[in-house]
A and B are shown apart, each in its own frame.
Chain A
Amino acid sequence: MNDEQNVRQLVLDMLVAEGHGNDSATLQVALAEGGLSLSSLELVRLLVSLEERLGISLDDASIMNARFESVDDIVNLVTQSA
């Protein structure tokens, strides 16, 4: 259910919904060029939303130790926790 492709699309859709881009396709390109450019609070808000949508619980230490440079980093964290 939480396969990489689905999670990636979910993350992109959530970022668009939060006003980080017009659509997920252009957002993916923008993120690749400029990084996620999220504040810490926005990142955790996104992770909390993912927890609720996917019915998972992300480990605080894993979040704290990760470096988030792209959507893939979020996808990896989520799929490894699922």
Chain B
Amino acid sequence: MLKIIFTEDFIRIILAAVSVMAFVGANGLVLVYMERKLAGHIQRRPGPYEVGWHGLLQPFADAGKLVGKQLLMPDGADALLYWLAPLVSFLWVLVLFIPIPFSPALTAYDMDLGLVLILAFAGINLLALCMAGWGSNNKWSLLGAARAVAQSVAYEIPLLLAVLAVAFASGSLNLSTVVQYQGVWPWQWNVIIQPLAFVVYFICAVAETNRAPFDLPEAESELTAGFHTEYSGMAFGLFFLAEYANMIVVCALATALFLGGWKGPLSSGVWWFLAKMYLLLFVMIWIRWTYPRVRFDQLLNINWKWLLPISLANLMATALFVKIF
């Protein structure tokens, strides 16, 4: 019995799970601060300033506020679905971090099918949105959930195709192999070899994480707050954290697949990975505070009429190229 518990793999996975939770928690705080500060300065105002030096302790104040708020459930809501939805939303995201290679030593579990794991579990967030929307007993939440379903399902396909093109070019679904296949300098990264795939992937990533300009499910000015209208306190906090965690996952995946992972000019390592990941997060935040929202049918149009053909053509061209050379 003890032999099973203390195998290297098992301990490794436990350590990985704990450190992933710590990483996601810490990054959640950093991202909250980063988003609010960037939003502030883009809007020519200071952003958080009072709590701590230049507002650095603001995320802790936010967390304290959310934890301290009353957890409410509206009358007539389905208790099981209502309370399960934030948990489902947040907990599954932690699984997505397992195959991501932060550096050669900091990969939680080196899987041959890492990419498939991530793509498979990314869809669970959708289930959480549906549960939240239906369980809230609120027509606005229902609308938000309905939009979220259509949006997520639609945008998973070009995402998959773009990622597959990279997998074809690298010859493996293992993320560490994809990173190894890229070089140290920027012109040796996959973004140069597969620029279309990168653009398609990034657009799909923004849509999958429900960020502006694709944030219809939580469109503040239309649906009050979409699927999480009725949530308050830590339940809302979990949705919030899940959204940021999702953002981190897609940016980390983009870094590994397209931007050379942990490889960088002077000395490769986890710091390069984090730098690139934060650069992509910065771009996502920048985009959010610039563009208006896309209308729902236009959203689906973009997907079915533009992203899908482009990613399909890209995949076929890549496959042809790989076969011939």
Bound together = no
Binding site for B on A (CB under 8 A): none
Binding site for A on B (CB under 8 A): none
